[in-house]
């Protein structure tokens, strides 16, 4: 057994979770990227998102988003919002799966009080300091 600091787990989570999760599911990378973009935009905007917003975030053409959107819906990674908007726009929502390979650091922190109330670590991709609090 190897003992690591919780900050190290947070860094490892950011590096390895996307790799492990996509390997487990055997999903095409574009479909996975699209689903993550929908999840990120939904979290940020607190609403369903459009194909145009996803295309802008990913720096893809709208036609590329449309191409992979149906696969993501069929695989249960995203879903359509229940209502249709002006000009028949069908907005997208993430589908939250409990079946991750690794538990999110926020969940680990919440369930293990001995770690402490808050933790800071460096995001391995952006170099920015991240902070988690219970």
pTM higher than the cut 0.75: no
What is the pLDDT at residue 56? 96
pLDDT at 98: 47
Domain with CATH 1.10.10.10 in the chain: 26-96
Closest CA to 59 of 34, 77, 82: 34
The token duo for 57 is 């975030």
Give the pLDDT band of residue 26 (cuts 50, 70, 90). Answer: low
Average pLDDT, the chain: 86
- By mean pLDDT, which of 21-30, 44-53, 106-115, 118-127 is the weakest? 21-30
Task: Report d(CA 27, CA 99) in Å as an integer.
Answer: 14
CATH code matching the domain that covers 26-96, chosen among 1.10.10.10, 1.10.3720.10, 3.40.640.10, 3.30.70.141:
1.10.10.10
């Amino acid at each position: 057994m190897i003992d690591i600091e919780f900050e190290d787990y947070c860094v490892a989570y950011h590096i390895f979770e996307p790799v492990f999760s996509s390997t487990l599911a055997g999903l095409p990378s574009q479909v996975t990227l699209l689903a993550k973009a929908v999840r990120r935009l939904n979290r940020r905007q607190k609403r369903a998102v459009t194909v145009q917003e996803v295309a802008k975030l990913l720096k893809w053409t709208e036609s590329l988003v449309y191409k992979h959107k149906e696969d993501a819906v069929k695989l249960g990674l995203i879903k359509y919002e229940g209502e249709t908007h002006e000009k028949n726009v069908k907005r997208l929502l993430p589908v939250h799966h409990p079946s991750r390979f690794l538990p999110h650091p926020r969940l680990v922190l919440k369930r293990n009080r001995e770690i402490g109330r808050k933790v800071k670590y460096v995001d391995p991709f952006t170099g920015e300091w991240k902070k988690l609090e219970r």
